[in-house]
Structure 1
Amino acid sequence: MPENYKEIIAIAIFLFTYAAIVSEKIHRTIAALFGASLVAVLSIVSLEKAVEAIDFNTIGLLVGMMIIVGITRQTGVFEFLAVKAAKGSQGEPLKIVAALSLVTAVLSAFLDNVTTVLLIVPVTFAIARQLELNPLPFLIPEIIASNIGGTATLIGDPPNIMIGSANNLGFMDFLLNLTPVIVVVYVLTVFCIQIIYRKQLVARDELKTTIMQLNEQDEIKDAALLRKCLVVLALTILGFVTHQYLHLESSIIALTGASLLLLITRSDPEHALQAVEWPVMFFFIGLFVIVGALEEVGVIEAVAKWALDVTGGDLVPTGMLILWLSAIASAFVDNIPFVATMIPLIQDMGRLGGITDLNLLWWSLSLGACLGGNGTAIGASANVVVLGMAEKRGVHISFIGYMKIAFPLMLMSIVVSTAYLLFWYYAHTMTAMCVTLVLGLVLAVLLKPITNILTKQK
């Protein structure tokens, strides 16, 4: 048996698991758990190392937020927001698309994307039906908006949760560094979508009136519960904003918020825990173990050395490579296993290349993986869920039909992200140059009288 048999077996298990996830012939959770079991059974990693590879901060954050959202959704507040947005648009279809997309994007920044679309899409179908319009021009913008909004914050999308947890990046780090470009991407995307669908989004005046007659208050099912949920949500978000200063992990904040909500609402724990997507949790656990095995046997380090050779170890080319590679890959494969693989790779690239500040690479990975999911119908979980819900209601969205609209918009968002990241990186240098230039001018003004005197003396 060759000396590097562990590396060969680890790579084979990783590729098998990835192929099973992409093919969707085997449930991704089963594939991940089976792969994790193999690396343990074949002694590629010890049990202790396998447990160490699991990022329990990511798991805890997801569980906590799912419990909070699961209880909050019982109040009907999300449907309330959707109806309110439609009425605020005066029944104009183009404005309704923009309003519902905005609600979806904002909610996706603070809640799970799948949960957001599950709540918004049924209301969207009702509105489209009352306007006697094809729901397709409403649904595609909502899919895209959910992935764009989720990119803006630490808790908006699983890749961000994983990146933040692995590198001690907090809620405010994501908010301050990614929200500016996400706002630009969102505005440009909605503008383009309205141009694409403007001829299909025309409704008769009498149908618009029916939208204005909807009563959003009817959507609120439990006002007392809503008040409690909003208080806990506000406290939890405040915790995310300040957790770095309090030296608390984001998972502690989320689980504390969930526990507090369970306590004050006296919800049945068994029912509340049903809101947790346990298959997703075990999918993460399996992936962490498999990627941990690759890292343990040295495969990640070898790939990092190769990547450094390709980019010459320069930070900016490496960041651009990660951004575009992440975007294209995430359009066709699940971005969660991709990001799980990239995190230790980038960490090793920083260690081997002597790079102390890796933030450019983390923002590149986040933007590429999250926005890239918009490219195709299978690029993100929210895409698959919405298309499935549409199919059940007799609205077929083909893979190519979706891709014709979404892929160019995804490429546009990555071009904007490229420009933003280059500006973000070089802004420090530009600031230093501007300060130097200003100081030089001030110095020249101050020295001018002396120069004149010296000139006259000569």
Structure 2
Amino acid sequence: MLLSAETSNSFEPAWVPMAVLGAIMVATYLVIAFEKFHKSVTAILGAMAAVIAALAFGLFGKTGYPVIHEILGHDLNILGVIIGTSILVDTVGRSGLFQFIAIRVVKMTMGEPKRLFLFVCILTWLFVSLLTLAPGSLLMASLVLVICKTLGYHPKPYLIAVAIVANSAALTTFSSGIATLMIGTSAQIPYVHFFIGSTPLAIATGAVAFFVLVKLYGKKLLADAAAAGDPAELKTKVAGFDEWALVKDRRIFWRSAIVLLLTVVGFATAQMIGVGLDFIAMSGGMMALLFCAGDPEQAIKKVKWSVILFFVGLFVIVGSVKATGLLEITADALVSIGGGQTWLLVIVLGIFVMLASGFVDNIPVTATMLPILDKISSENPALAEPLYWTLVGAANLGGNGTPIGSVAAVVALHALEAERGEKVGWGEFMKAGMLILAIQAVMVIGYVLLMHSFGWFPDLPKYAGR
């Protein structure tokens, strides 16, 4: 979200455009948080207001309106990854591959509730890591409802687990979540470096979420199992699940597995072969359409176009606000608050981003923080690693605090309401979510400070040598 050198705040007094554009951004985020309108519509309307204000104040210099195209051009790779992975996941999903994996894993549990709960968490972690946050959460929510209905279990604890563990899984790779994709792209973190830096945190925070949830819902899980009937009968029922039942064509099944594997390998080697993740994602999507009997029209319809529009709006808003100089002032203020102390900056950034992500949505919070961190890191490269890795952990896990804080929570809780007409209130969700978030906040801050102090984080090439 860089702007050309011609764009600057030459309006006098300078605080006026800062105040107006800042108010537009905050108002947009608040409307998104309170869900008064669809968030994509809100983002586009906010972007239109920001552009009108920026043009009125002359913030885009002599270039004028075409600066908007420049702003969007810097982030086209993010949109390419979203489009490509959406096509890939939809096409490969039709082969029955993901359902096959899920049923095979469930059979290993033999219907024992705590073991099933563990495997739901593991599957969530696996699917979100490979398929990204929204498709992985949606797939797991659907599978949980089917499994629980068959076994006679209440799906609420399992769906809450999906909602919370998915956010840890989104930390695993560069492309596992939208926030990680944005951060990795902005900081130019190689895919393998991202995996090395964030996977230990993803596993540790996911494990904490599992143990806390088992402690909170353990009695309910056992009570459901007792009410479901004879354990021997239950084991027989689970053993009778046929993992091949949803696989219509085994040739397409194996082709889908190969295409998915090649795409994951492509993500890991993209930098070495000199291409972007958007190229790999689009290649994976096209291979799936060519070799896995995909329906192009259907697959393209499944692309999250509302998410694309949401991003377009956010990029324009943040780019317009950046032209006022407000984000630079915010960056300087953040450094001042930290007093130049890395540990204090990490704590302040981590807590702020986690709380903001829980109530606003981690995507706009991340979009706003990236240019701020870029300025701080450009002026003080030693701060780049701890601040960016703090943002990775805080932005993804912050959504655990509230039922609207992440895509995974919205998907899982909506599935419960649609299937059983049962809502999970803010109080009930936050009882588990806020406790887990508090523990994870300490883990993120401690992990970043430990890794940074020992120099264990991979270098960020963008800021190396400055």
After TM superposition, the score normalised by the length of structure 1 is 0.89
- Provide the residue aligned with 1:252 in structure 2: 279
- Provide the residue aligned with 2:291 in structure 1: 264
- Provide the residue aligned with 2:386 in structure 1: 360
Is 1:385 the equivalent of 2:411? yes
> What is the Cα deviation at residue 266 of structure 1?
5.6
Secondary structure of the structure 2 residue equivalent to 1:134: coil
Secondary structure of the structure 1 residue equivalent to 2:111: coil
Q: For residues 47 and 224 of structure 1, do their structure 2 counterparts lie closer, same or farther at Cα, with a shift above 3 Å needed? A: farther
Kept in 2, the 8 Å contact 1:148–1:371? The answer is: yes
> What is the Cα deviation at residue 96 of structure 1?
0.4
* Alignment counterpart, residue 371 of structure 1, candidates 397, 403, 407: 397
Give the whole-Å Cα distance in 2 for the aligned partners of 1:260 and 1:397: 40
Is 1:47 the equivalent of 2:47? no
Q: For residues 268 and 219 of structure 1, do their structure 2 counterparts lie closer, same or farther at Cα, with a shift above 3 Å needed? A: closer
- Provide the residue aligned with 1:284 in structure 2: 311
- Provide the residue aligned with 2:136 in structure 1: 116
Aligned residue runs from structure 1 range 377-456, under 5 A: 377-394=403-420, 395-428=422-455
Is the deviation greater in 128-137 or in 238-247?
128-137
Aligned residue runs from structure 1 range 159-308, under 5 A: 159-202=179-222, 203=225, 204-205=230-231, 206-265=233-292, 267-308=294-335
CA-to-partner distance for each residue in 1:112-152, whole Å, 9 max, x for gaps?
22212222222212322233222112111111111111111
- Provide the residue aligned with 1:18 in structure 2: 29
Compare relative contact order (CA 8 Å, sep 6+) and give the higher one, 1 or 2.
2
Kept in 2, the 8 Å contact 1:374–1:380? The answer is: yes
Kept in 2, the 8 Å contact 1:372–1:410? The answer is: yes
Secondary structure of the structure 1 residue equivalent to 2:244: helix
- Provide the residue aligned with 1:73 in structure 2: 93
Kept in 1, the 8 Å contact 2:205–2:443? The answer is: yes
* Alignment counterpart, residue 370 of structure 2, candidates 332, 340, 343: 343
CA-to-partner distance for each residue in 1:221-275, whole Å, 9 max, x for gaps?
3322222222221111111111122222111111122222223346332222112
Q: Partner letter of residue 435 of structure 2?
A: P
Secondary structure of the structure 2 residue equivalent to 1:217: coil
> What is the Cα deviation at residue 410 of structure 1?
1.6
Q: Partner letter of residue 99 of structure 2?
A: E
- Provide the residue aligned with 1:454 in structure 2: none
- Provide the residue aligned with 2:119 in structure 1: 99
> What is the Cα deviation at residue 357 of structure 1?
5.4
Give the whole-Å Cα distance in 2 for the aligned partners of 1:366 and 1:417: 9
Give the whole-Å Cα distance in 1 for the aligned partners of 2:354 and 2:277: 26
Q: Partner letter of residue 383 of structure 1?
A: A
Is 1:85 the equivalent of 2:96? no
Secondary structure of the structure 1 residue equivalent to 2:340: coil
Unaligned runs of 5+ in 1: 430-458
Give the whole-Å Cα distance in 2 for the aligned partners of 1:392 and 1:268: 28
Is 1:3 the equivalent of 2:3? no
Kept in 2, the 8 Å contact 1:327–1:373? The answer is: yes
Q: Partner letter of residue 359 of structure 1?
A: E
Kept in 2, the 8 Å contact 1:154–1:171? The answer is: yes
Identity %: 29
Kept in 1, the 8 Å contact 2:100–2:244? The answer is: yes
- Provide the residue aligned with 2:459 in structure 1: none
Is 1:31 the equivalent of 2:42? yes
> What is the Cα deviation at residue 334 of structure 1?
0.6
Kept in 1, the 8 Å contact 2:358–2:399? The answer is: yes
Give the whole-Å Cα distance in 1 for the aligned partners of 2:39 and 2:117: 33
> What is the Cα deviation at residue 94 of structure 1?
0.5
Give the whole-Å Cα distance in 2 for the aligned partners of 1:66 and 1:350: 33
- Provide the residue aligned with 2:81 in structure 1: 61
> What is the Cα deviation at residue 398 of structure 1?
1.4
Kept in 2, the 8 Å contact 1:79–1:120? The answer is: no
Q: Partner letter of residue 61 of structure 1?
A: V
Q: For residues 132 and 266 of structure 1, do their structure 2 counterparts lie closer, same or farther at Cα, with a shift above 3 Å needed? A: closer
Give the whole-Å Cα distance in 1 for the aligned partners of 2:295 and 2:109: 39
- Provide the residue aligned with 1:445 in structure 2: none
Give the whole-Å Cα distance in 1 for the aligned partners of 2:356 and 2:345: 16
> What is the Cα deviation at residue 198 of structure 1?
1.9
Q: Partner letter of residue 38 of structure 1?
A: A
Give the whole-Å Cα distance in 2 for the aligned partners of 1:87 and 1:267: 29
Q: Partner letter of residue 401 of structure 2?
A: G
Is the radius of gyration larger for structure 1 or structure 2? 1
> What is the Cα deviation at residue 314 of structure 1?
2.7
Give the whole-Å Cα distance in 1 for the aligned partners of 2:293 and 2:157: 41
Aligned length: 428
CA-to-partner distance for each residue in 1:5-53, whole Å, 9 max, x for gaps?
3323211221221121111111111111112122223414433322222
- Provide the residue aligned with 1:140 in structure 2: 160
Is 1:310 the equivalent of 2:328? no
Q: Runs in 1 of length 4+ with deviation above 4 angstroms?
A: none
Secondary structure of the structure 1 residue equivalent to 2:400: coil
Kept in 1, the 8 Å contact 2:110–2:235? The answer is: yes
CA-to-partner distance for each residue in 1:193-224, whole Å, 9 max, x for gaps?
22222211222412343122211111223322
Give the whole-Å Cα distance in 1 for the aligned partners of 2:197 and 2:414: 34
Give the whole-Å Cα distance in 2 for the aligned partners of 1:406 and 1:12: 30
Unaligned runs of 5+ in 2: 1-10, 457-466
> What is the Cα deviation at residue 105 of structure 1?
0.7
Is the deviation greater in 34-43 or in 283-292?
34-43
Is the deviation greater in 228-237 or in 364-373?
228-237
